Structure 1
Amino acid sequence: MRVVNIAAEMAPIAKVGGLGDVVGGLSSELVRKGIDAIVILPKYKNLKTSFLKDLKVYKKNFQIFEKRRWQKTTIYSAKLNRVQIYLI
């Protein structure tokens, strides 16, 4: 089984309120139980990337529709406590 969480924050790399704790804890527990957990987050400028393992470019020139127009962006991938993370 694969579970994908799309969220605005995930502790400890991006946390403002309780959502970050829930996403981080849930994803780690799913992986511990043998479930493939993926988290998709915005790539904020102030992310605490020191917690991430193997941060690398996953896809360049990925097109997203934002602010009523198509824009190119880069998707990054990393691991945190065996949880696969994608930053957009």
Structure 2
Amino acid sequence: MDAGLLAQYAIITVAVIVSAWFVAKRQFPNAVRRLRVGLAIPLVREGRAAWVQKLGRRIAPPSTLADASCGGCNSCGPSAPRRH
């Protein structure tokens, strides 16, 4: 296979993965959060190497102690009524 064609396939693959991740985060925030938690928990357990635990902490979603319960875009709440 030609190196240029391989590079083109690699760039397209990266673009598709980034696009899919963006859409998933915007449309399904709770599912993405559960996925990130599910991937991070096994990595941060005691007895793992320090670099594995660090990777797990990077994968883990940010804490939502003071946020809304959905973990989404933080724009929940009553919206102003529309005026025609």
TM-score by length of 1: 0.28
**Higher strand fraction (1 or 2):** 1
TM-score by length of 2: 0.29
Q: Which has the higher contact order (CA 8 A, sep 6+)?
A: 1
Which of structures 1 and 2 has the bigger CA Rg? 2
**Higher helix fraction (1 or 2):** 2
